[in-house]
Amino acid sequence: MRRLLGLLPQAEPRGADRVVPPTGFTARLTLLTAAAMAFLAVFALALSLASGRLADRWAEALARSATIRISAPAEQMAAQTRAVLDILAVTPGVASARALDEAEMRNLLSPWFGPDLPVDTLPLPQLVEVVETAGGLDAEGLRLRLAAEAPGALFDDHTRWRRPLVAAAERLRLLGILSLVLIGGATAAMITLAAQAALAANGQVIRVLRLVGARDVFIARAFVRRFTLRGFSGAVLGTVLGVAAVAALPDTDAAGGFLTGLGFQGWGWLWPLAIPPLAAGVAFGATRAAALRMLKGIR
Amino acid sequence: MIELRSVAMSYGGTELLSDMTLKLMAGSFHFLTGPSGAGKTTFLKLCYAELMPSGGQLNLFGQDVRDLGRDDIAMLRRRVGVVHQDCQFLDHLPLLENVALPLSVAGRAVDPQELKDLLGWVGLAGQARALPPQLSGGERQRAALARAVILSPDILLADEPTGNLDWEMSLRLLTLLVELNRMGKTVVIATHDLNLIRAAKAQVPARVLRIQNRRLHLAGADL
């Protein structure tokens, strides 16, 4: 482990930092911890952004689309389909409507039955895709007309399964944000422990500094600078690796745009840039608080 | 500069020092003697506010130590140079940086020539780059003295500064302390080395204080 950590870069202390002796192993351990946390933070961020996009996409796409399923004896299927399309053509709020052809039906069923499905031999219902205008349509009125003129037609505005899907995606986004908060908290806790260990190990240094007239802020600064730099450097490393890993994830466009990739899109690629400064901020706050708390016990 | 009025000091309910009254004037030279465990180090620690008295009143530079905050104590220590028997250095820094440490801590610029002169004064000009563990006991004591005086403090407190030194080196260190006193610095040396006190009294009008039975006595006459 020590040999492995020895491969990591370590900045040489400068200025006031020099009063604290170099601690190679713990320094690299802090660096590695910050890198691991930043790597995880990139994924949590990607998850949060992706689930947000997914929720928006599902909400938008499903809210503006509906399906009419026509179940009728084979000899009545064409007549009922025509009747449904006629009704839709004069229904306010319908932007477009069309009956799915055999090839589209086969595509829909192929994930379950394979590509060579003989659609024409199966008693399948006819599906009609309805795209609504921004204002939406009167679902209840349409259902009544369909019941009267095409008794085999059933209008489905996707509400039943749209709501839980959007709720799930929203929940996923919240989990992503919660993960980011937990990662930040865990990073703060680990850096606090590392800083406390460093402060305890450098009791003699602190006593000498107090003896020659050092104020608490001077002593704390020496430790804070070092841990902030370690936190920042580790986070840069972890962020770069995390972004590279996210970029290497497979594309999910094959799902027809219904799903979304667990990656960043457009300006979203800039979000990970916030991780190193935030990690440095967490390291700064955690170390400063630990140092000032501990120094109060030393005269 | 340092004024004690009926000062007492207790450790865990046991009184180590009691009813100590003393006024250390500017430019004075004092020895502090007493048997081991009498409380010499405790007395010195009170003088640079590492310890707080459990009774009485202790004024440092006109301020009651109980009224001082942590930053005030830090500022006060820049006016009090301290030399410990074990010296207390930052072992990873070369001697030069250890001696200049009070300047760095005070945010003051380091004048290389002044630093060189100071190391020359304590006879360590050739050891500037050496690490403290590489120095002999005498060299460490002289380095500690250089560090203690670099901020030109008003008071110099030395706790058994010659405890680990041979006689020749002890006299050399004493000469430096006497020189500082002649420059107007107040010097207090805790020691049980009576020969050192006799040697000093031959050079400066030193007062000898003795801690016995928890109290402070003037003990110059019996030496």
pLDDT band at A6 (very low <50, low <70, confident <90, very high): very low
Q: Do the domain assignments include residue A161? A: no
B105 with A296: Cβ contact below 8 A: no
Which of A118, A151, A184 lies at the terminal end of a domain, its last residue?
A151
What would the two tokens of residue B88 be? 């207390």
Which of A89, A119, A151 lies at the terminal end of a domain, its last residue?
A151
Asked if residue A15 has pLDDT above 90, the reply is: no
What would the two tokens of residue B17 be? 């020092």
pLDDT band at A172 (very low <50, low <70, confident <90, very high): confident
Q: How many CB atoms lie within 10 A of CB B120?
A: 13
Same domain, A133 and A99: yes
Query: Which residue in the set B50, B89, B105 is minimally distant from A213, CB to CB?
Result: B105
- Residue A299 Cα, gap to closest chain B Cα (Å): 5
With tokens 């440490």, the residue in question is B101
Question: Which residues of chain B lie closer than 8 angstroms to A205, CB-CB?
Answer: 90
Domain spans, chain B: 2-79+153-222, 94-152
DSSP letter at A167?
Answer: H
What are A106-155's pLDDT values in tens digits?
A: 787 777 777 776 767 777 888 998 888 877 788 888 888 888 888 888 88
* pLDDT attached to residue A16: 64
* pLDDT attached to residue B80: 94
Same domain, A274 and A194: yes
Q: Do the domain assignments include residue A38? A: yes
Average pLDDT over residues B117-133: 90
* Count of structural domains, chain A: 2
Same domain, A285 and A178: yes
In chain A, whose CA is at the least distance from the CA of B46? A299
Asked if residue B110 has pLDDT above 80, the reply is: yes
Question: Which residues of chain A lie closer than 8 angstroms to B70, CB-CB?
Answer: 215-216, 295-296
CB contacts < 8 A (A, B):
60
The Cα–Cα gap between B161 and B122 comes to 14
* pLDDT attached to residue A5: 42
Which of A119, A151, A183 lies at the terminal end of a domain, its last residue?
A151
CB contact at 8 A, B74 and B37: no
The Cα–Cα gap between A142 and A126 comes to 18
Between B221 and A197, the higher pLDDT residue? A197
- Residue B164 Cα, gap to closest chain A Cα (Å): 20
What ipTM, to 2 d.p.? 0.87
Same domain, A133 and A86: yes
Between B198 and A27, the higher pLDDT residue? B198
* pLDDT attached to residue A27: 74
Q: Do the domain assignments include residue A67? A: no
Asked if residue B221 has pLDDT above 70, the reply is: no
Asked if residue B74 has pLDDT above 90, the reply is: yes
Question: Which residues of chain A lie closer than 8 angstroms to B71, CB-CB?
Answer: 215-216
What is chain A's mean pLDDT, rounded?
Answer: 82
The Cα–Cα gap between A129 and A109 comes to 16
The Cα–Cα gap between A155 and A19 comes to 76
Asked if residue A234 has pLDDT above 90, the reply is: yes
Query: Which residue in the set A19, A208, A218 is minimally distant from B88, CB to CB?
Result: A208
The Cα–Cα gap between B145 and B202 comes to 22
* pLDDT attached to residue B31: 93
* pLDDT attached to residue B13: 81
* pLDDT attached to residue B147: 93
Share of chain A above pLDDT 70, in %: 88
Question: Which residues of chain B lie closer than 8 angstroms to A22, CB-CB?
Answer: 92
Asked if residue B123 has pLDDT above 50, the reply is: yes
Residue at A246: amino acid letter: V
Query: Which residue in the set A18, A207, A214 is minimally distant from B105, CB to CB?
Result: A214
What is chain B's mean pLDDT, rounded?
Answer: 89
Average pLDDT over residues A69-92: 88
In chain B, which residues touch A (CB < 8 A)?
A: 48-51, 70-71, 73-78, 82, 84, 88-93, 97, 101-102, 104-106, 147, 151
* pLDDT attached to residue B95: 93
Least confident of A10-19, A89-98, B46-55, B105-114: A10-19
Question: Which residues of chain B lie closer than 8 angstroms to A216, CB-CB?
Answer: 70-71, 74
DSSP letter at A260?
Answer: -
Kindly tell me the sign of the dihedral angle through the C-alpha atoms of A177, A178, A180, A184.
positive
Average pLDDT over residues B165-172: 84
How distant is the alpha carbon of residue A126 from its chain centre? 37
Query: Which residue in the set A16, A18, A215 is minimally distant from B74, CB to CB?
Result: A215
CB contact at 8 A, A223 and A291: yes
Question: Which residues of chain A lie closer than 8 angstroms to B77, CB-CB?
Answer: 210-213
Average pLDDT over residues A13-33: 75
Between B99 and A264, the higher pLDDT residue? B99
Give residues 1 to 40 of A whose Cβ lies within 8 Å of B: 16, 18-19, 21-22
Identify the CATH number of the domain defined by range B2-79+153-222: 3.40.50.300
What are A183-231's pLDDT values in tens digits?
A: 989 988 888 888 888 888 888 889 899 999 999 999 998 889 888 999 9
Strand bridging mode B14-24 / A126-132: unpaired
Average pLDDT over residues A6-15: 46
Query: Which residue in the set B71, B76, B147 is minimally distant from A212, CB to CB?
Result: B147
The Cα–Cα gap between B156 and B81 comes to 5
Query: Which residue in the set B51, B75, B97 is minimally distant from A213, CB to CB?
Result: B75
* pLDDT attached to residue B222: 40
Q: Do the domain assignments include residue A191? A: yes
A209 with B105: Cβ contact below 8 A: yes
Contacts of A62 (CB under 8 A, 6+ apart): A158, A162, A165, A166
In chain B, whose CA is at the least distance from the CA of A207? B88
Same domain, A51 and A176: yes
With tokens 């001696």, the residue in question is B99
Per the structure, the complete domain to which residue A181 belongs is given by 2-56+172-295
A209 with B89: Cβ contact below 8 A: no
